[in-house]
Structure 1
Amino acid sequence: MTTVRTLIAVVYVRKWKVCQMDVKNAFLNGDLHEEAPRAWFEKFLKRDLAHRDLAHRFAMKDLGLLRYFLGIEVAQSHKGHLLSQTKYISNLFQRARLSDNRTVDTPLETNVRYSPSDGVPLADPSLYRTIVGSLVYLTVTRPDIAHAVHVVSQFITAPTSINWGAVIRILRYLRGTPFQNLLFPSTSSLELRAYSDADWDSDRNDRKSTTGFCVFLGDSLISWRSKKQDVVSRSSTEAEYRTIAVTTCEIVWLRWILADMGVTISQPTPLHCDNKSAMQIAKNSVFHDRKKHIEIDCHFTHHHLQLGTISLPYVPLTLQIADIFTKALSVSRFRFLCDKLSMLIAIALCV
């Protein structure tokens, strides 16, 4: 979905129209001697799009301007285009059998730590798994719940009553914010900028840290992540540096995707970090004992810093947008960062 969001952001800035086509049996038209998706794509590219030859070659239907796709609603306002899943959220309440109308201000309670041993194991975990899976898909347009969904996803194997309570809290937050939309401003620029943050030793069960990052194309949020790190970091600097390396990978990939769309970025992409020690490691080409356990990440990040793919400007913690993807926050802090994510409260168009 990151590619789709990137494409949409580029299309709207360039004032192109986004239309929707329903191809009924693309894979059955003609003999394909290679892997089906790739062969179909190559066959698709060979058709003359300017003369609408596709309708003669494939069984397809023109659905007009894009308004609804796979549960995602697309609407237009005076500020730009909006992506939301309002109808999807409404159906989610029904699947979860959430009958009350209570709401909360944040998707996670502040300072709460969850453990596999907390609470009573659910007799039938199927509903928990269904709802969490649906919440994962909802994060396509709701970055504000990304960290909360990351937390409850860790207990998918053996959920307990405490874990289910955390899921219900996310749903009650959604109950109070059903019209929260992801905004793609039509006046945005086409320059990348990223924010990288880590919460060291955040999981008291395995002592692993949490990685959080977000990437903007101009004012449009196109990529984000909240994920537990694969290994235990021995310091906050190490945790932050691992996150910088992961974010650098995302930037390299996005720059490649944008180039493929005809958007060339000649300047280094700013990767905002609030850990000065991690920034110094990236800029230092001498690798000593302090760095040897993260040597590959060091070489990779330093290479792209020297190459001019990224720059590492310092950002104070108060303005670190990626903070929302690493931990549960107070109401005031959470709302402040939500405003920075290019999200807009508006009534979306539902099918």
Structure 2
Amino acid sequence: MIITSDDPEYIAFVKARLCDQFLMSDLGPLRYFLGIEVSSTSDGFSISQEKYIQDLLARAALADERTVETPMELHVKLHPTDGDPLPDPTRYRHLVGSLVYLAVTRPDISYPVHILSQFVSAPTTIHYGHLLRVLRYLRGTITRRLFFPRSSSLQLQCYSDATWANDPTDRRSLSAYCMFLGGSLVAWKTKKQVAVSRSSVEAELRAMASVTAEVTWLRWLLADFGVSVTTPTLLLSDSTCAISIARDPVKHELTKHICVDAFYTRAQV
């Protein structure tokens, strides 16, 4: 149960009533929950999974102490047939599943985890090598955490991007976004698009439409929490063509196949 009131007397009253009905203990302020560590200071809150990473590295039993600067090599493209099939894929699946949960507090591994999770049904030695690189990256960045300042504003701001025809097997593009509430990172995602985009502009516009839907939902959620969001949400993209089409959808042969995403984004604006 989550109590959203900030009135200490009311919180104490609710906890007392719960104790009357259920066998429970008051553990005090939140510090550790399901592998997520929470620390509070006068400046704000921090969440991390440092112990979770330590346990993950212990289970992985890496044979060396090396670290790397990035979780995945630049421009790497993995194929299902790369390398030799692993004789026992259980270890690969276990580690990737653990990384999926770790991405809850580590947006910097969202992209490689998305890529590696596509091969859990039949991983190979090449895929496992890239998985070990992510673990070595985590070893060198184990103390990184997300910080949520108390003085942050309640202005939403989003960043959208896409990689065109990134997947070498089906040529579908990847959409990615991150959303900030003031100075706090509150949402992020990397996901393969459901359809093949015939141009980089189309891929970028699909990504913009996806994050626009998330922005709309988050604004409704903030309103339900009593947070007034009256100013427009800034959506940043590096595709000038996609921005131009979203601002003024033109019905002609080059854009009619993506006009739904264009008009949806425009309608929300």
Q: TM-score w.r.t. structure 1 length?
A: 0.72
Matching of residue 73 in structure 1 with residue 37 in structure 2: yes
Aligned counterpart, 2:227:
263
Change (3 A) 1:280 1:121: same
Pairs within 5 Å for 1:234-245: 234-245=198-209
Residue 62 of structure 1: SS of its match in structure 2? coil
Residue 39 of structure 2: SS of its match in structure 1? strand
Pairs within 5 Å for 1:189-228: 189-228=153-192
Aligned counterpart, 1:139:
103
- Partner amino acid, structure 2, of 1:160: T
- Partner amino acid, structure 2, of 1:231: A
Pairs within 5 Å for 1:47-126: 51-52=13-14, 53-77=17-41, 79-126=43-90
Q: CA deviation at 1:77?
A: 4.1
Query: Once superposed, what is the RMSD of the aligned Cα atoms?
Result: 2.0
Aligned counterpart, 2:148:
184
* Alignment partner of 2:113 out of 129, 149, 167: 149
For the 8 Å contact 1:80–1:185, the answer to whether it is kept is: yes
Residue 145 of structure 2: SS of its match in structure 1? strand
Aligned counterpart, 1:289:
253
Q: CA deviation at 1:214?
A: 0.3
Query: Hey, which bits of structure 1, 4+ residues long, moved more than 4 A?
Result: none
- Partner amino acid, structure 1, of 2:80: P
Residue 226 of structure 1: SS of its match in structure 2? strand
Distance 1:56 1:299 in 2: 54
Is there any run of 5+ residues in structure 1 with no aligned partner, and where? 1-6, 19-47, 306-351
Residue 265 of structure 2: SS of its match in structure 1? helix
Q: CA deviation at 1:288?
A: 2.8
Distance 1:294 1:94 in 2: 48
Change (3 A) 1:108 1:285: closer
- Partner amino acid, structure 1, of 2:179: V
Distance 2:144 2:21 in 1: 40
Q: CA deviation at 1:257?
A: 1.1
Residue 99 of structure 2: SS of its match in structure 1? helix
Distance 1:238 1:229 in 2: 11
Distance 2:7 2:171 in 1: 48
Is there any run of 5+ residues in structure 2 with no aligned partner, and where? none
How many residues in Structure 1 have an aligned counterpart in Structure 2? Answer: 264
Distance 1:192 1:55 in 2: 38
Deviation larger for 283-292 or 200-209: 283-292
For the 8 Å contact 2:249–2:259, the answer to whether it is kept is: no
Q: CA deviation at 1:295?
A: 2.8
For the 8 Å contact 1:17–1:65, the answer to whether it is kept is: no
Q: CA deviation at 1:55?
A: 1.8
Deviation per CA, 1:34-68, whole angstroms, max 9, x where unpaired?
xxxxxxxxxxxxxx856232221233221110100
Pairs within 5 Å for 1:293-304: 293-304=257-268
Distance 1:58 1:202 in 2: 52
Distance 1:67 1:204 in 2: 43
- Partner amino acid, structure 1, of 2:87: A
For the 8 Å contact 1:211–1:229, the answer to whether it is kept is: yes
Aligned counterpart, 2:91:
127
- Partner amino acid, structure 2, of 1:249: A
For the 8 Å contact 2:96–2:117, the answer to whether it is kept is: yes
Give the structure, 1 or 2, with the largest relative contact order (CA under 8 Å, sep 6 or more). 1
